[in-house]
Amino acid sequence: MSERLDDLKLRLAQLSDLAHAMALAHWDQQTMMPTRGGEARAESLATLTSITHEMFVDDETGRMLEGATAELNGAGGGPDGDSDDARLIALVRRQWDKARRVPTELAAELARAASIGQEAWITARANSDFESFAPYLEHNFELARRYVDCHMSSGDYACGYDVLLDDYEPRMPSTEVSDLFAQLKAELVPLIATVTAASPVDDAPLHVEFPVDDQRRLVREVVALMGFDDAGWRLDDTVHPFATRIGGGDVRITTRWDEHFFPYGAMHECGHGLYEAGLPPAQRRSPLGTAESLGLHESQSRLWENMVGRGRPFATVLAPRIAALGGDELSPLDADTLYRAVNVVRPSFIRVEADEATYALHIILRFELEQALIDGTLTVRELPEAWNARFKDYFGLEVTNDADGVLQDVHWSAGLIGYFPTYALGNLIAGQLWERARAELSGLDAEIAEGRLGSLREWLRQHVHQYGSKFTTKELLIREAGGPVSVTPFTNYLKAKLGDVYGIDL
């Protein structure tokens, strides 16, 4: 009956099996692999990428797509735009058209260079040695430009950067991002100025040292409240934390440990993990069963990390547990003190440690620099200087060490160029979803204060996770959050919180 559609689904399932192997290889490289294993890993990933690419782009996939479309039209007298099958075909058709333009050799080299680049970055960051890293970065940007060149004649993209951004945030042109970021900056800059001029908030709890083994126990407790389940999840150590799903029933999150600690990083990754765990089980080996965009993905991590984790209700759960770890230095620690301490606004060097108000400035800086690197107005050699100058401008801080500057993030080393904006989009989407969830879930604050996080998790599963890639991010937000990505819910949320924390009107 629907033979072509079944053929297509089988091929997509096999591509998903290859993605499983690659996800595992990436996870292992960042958590387990001995350092000398990097070269062989890069070769293996390059070959898996070639094979995946060739299997996907070949003419047979095109014929399956044509056949499946015809079947769908025949069966219902026209494609039902909202059926899973119609959505699947549309999604795959778009990805196939894009992938067809990329030579296999380039796809493989992108994978190989990403894998090699990460190993070089780990060493370079440890030694704050940009010089040793520059050739890898140049190669990655050169490859990104070659990738861009494959797509420009399609007429689908207004500029080279949009080609890259589209891989992470499908259908979102950089002009839209720039508009949103301009609105965001216009709100944040005066907000930061006001808050940093207000009476300082006591953040002593942030400076207490905690034994890492105690931290591990607390993190295990917190992620268990969120929905982490030993039978289907792992939590491991890494240099640059991430979350991934290897396959059905196999979600892996990672964290790093610091003597000055709070469990928010692990909550962030667990938020990503809950999205992955909540994807539709019936679409387990289908592109429909994957996350739609990184902005949406990041909305889940940021919502759990910031709206829940750093919110006043959850401080009631955390404060006694953290006080118990901190010994004499922190006992007693009341929830209000903790809540205020972890929401202090202070410009600082490291993006992943930034507060919610200054965070977006870190992203805007990277977004602007990568656009310049791609359009050729900036070279890799000029990058540290450009970074430091812009950093001074945005944060008023002098970068004296590339490890705290241009070398702090893994992304560019791994070929993830055009990826950063999705983090700030995630904050905005989190603001929208949080506003909606609170309106719909009466008693949510009280539940959170008791450590009961199930209603919220279920709400997110119902309204976001279960759709996988069936809807675009814009469609999903219009259906489930009242409109496309917007700045206001996030800035309203932030003003309310910081007004409360600093005891001022915002």
User: Which residues are marked as active site?
Assistant: 269
Q: Kindly state the smallest distance separating residue 56's Cβ from a second copy, in Å.
A: 13
User: Cβ distance 235 to 242 under 8 Å?
Assistant: no
**171 strand-pairing partners:** none
Q: Which residue from 216, 284, 346, 452 is in contact with a second copy, where contact means CB under 8 A?
A: 284
Nearer to a second copy, 13 or 186 (CB): 13
Question: How many helices, marked H, and strands, marked E, lie in the chain?
Answer: 20, 3
* First and final C-alpha spacing in the chain: 62
Nearer to a second copy, 366 or 465 (CB): 465
Q: Which residue from 35, 332, 396, 443 is in contact with a second copy, where contact means CB under 8 A?
A: 35
- Cβ neighbors of 155 (< 8 A, separation 6 or more) are none
By CB under 8 A, tell whether 37 contacts a second copy: yes
Nearer to a second copy, 46 or 498 (CB): 46
Query: Which of these, 342, 332, 353, lies nearest to 311 by C-alpha position?
Result: 342
By CB under 8 A, tell whether 41 contacts a second copy: yes
By CB under 8 A, tell whether 220 contacts a second copy: no
Nearer to a second copy, 32 or 439 (CB): 32
Q: Which residue from 2, 7, 14, 351 is in contact with a second copy, where contact means CB under 8 A?
A: 14
Q: How far is CA 97 from CA 54, 58, 90, 346, 419, in A?
A: 13, 11, 11, 45, 21
Nearer to a second copy, 31 or 486 (CB): 31
Q: Which DSSP symbol is given to 255?
A: E
By CB under 8 A, tell whether 39 contacts a second copy: yes
Q: Which residue from 2, 4, 7, 18 is in contact with a second copy, where contact means CB under 8 A?
A: 18
Q: Which residue from 38, 62, 384, 484 is in contact with a second copy, where contact means CB under 8 A?
A: 38
Nearer to a second copy, 108 or 317 (CB): 108
Stretch that binds a second copy, among 23-31, 79-87, 123-131, 296-304 (CB under 8 A): 23-31
Q: How far is CA 415 from CA 113, 237, 300, 410, in A?
A: 7, 22, 24, 9
Angle at 108 between CA 103 and CA 114, to 5 degrees: 130
Nearer to a second copy, 232 or 287 (CB): 232
By CB under 8 A, tell whether 17 contacts a second copy: yes
Q: How buried is 455 (Cβ within 10 angstroms: 0-12 exposed, 13-18 middle, 19+ buried)?
A: middle
Stretch that binds a second copy, among 34-42, 134-142, 296-304, 321-329 (CB under 8 A): 34-42
Q: How far is CA 432 from CA 63, 296, 307, 342, 426, in A?
A: 41, 11, 11, 22, 10
CA atoms within 13 A on the CB side of 253: 27
**Binding letters toward a second copy, positions 223-252, x by CB under 8 A:** -------xxxxx-----------xxxxxx-
By CB under 8 A, tell whether 114 contacts a second copy: no
Distance CA 68, CA 255 (A): 43
Q: Kindly state the smallest distance separating residue 35's Cβ from a second copy, in Å.
A: 5
With H, G, I as helix, E, B as strand and everything else as coil, classify residue 234.
strand
Q: Which DSSP symbol is given to 303?
A: I
Q: Kindly state the smallest distance separating residue 112's Cβ from a second copy, in Å.
A: 11
Distance CA 412, CA 66 (A): 37
By CB under 8 A, tell whether 25 contacts a second copy: yes
Token pair, residue 421, equals 């904006």
Stretch that binds a second copy, among 44-52, 68-76, 424-432, 489-497 (CB under 8 A): 44-52
Residues 296-335 that bind a second copy (CB under 8 A): none
Q: Kindly state the smallest distance separating residue 44's Cβ from a second copy, in Å.
A: 4
Q: How many residues bind a second copy (CB under 8 A)?
A: 40
By CB under 8 A, tell whether 36 contacts a second copy: yes
Q: Kindly state the smallest distance separating residue 49's Cβ from a second copy, in Å.
A: 10
Q: Which DSSP symbol is given to 237?
A: E
Q: Which residue from 2, 4, 7, 48 is in contact with a second copy, where contact means CB under 8 A?
A: 48
CA atoms within 13 A on the CB side of 492: 11
Q: Kindly state the smallest distance separating residue 14's Cβ from a second copy, in Å.
A: 5
Which phi and psi (to 5°) does residue 392 adopt?
A: -55, -45
Nearer to a second copy, 37 or 62 (CB): 37
User: Cβ distance 229 to 454 under 8 Å?
Assistant: no
Positions in the binding site for a second copy (CB under 8 A): 13-14, 17-18, 20-22, 24-25, 28, 32-41, 43-44, 46-48, 50-51, 230-234, 246-251, 284-285
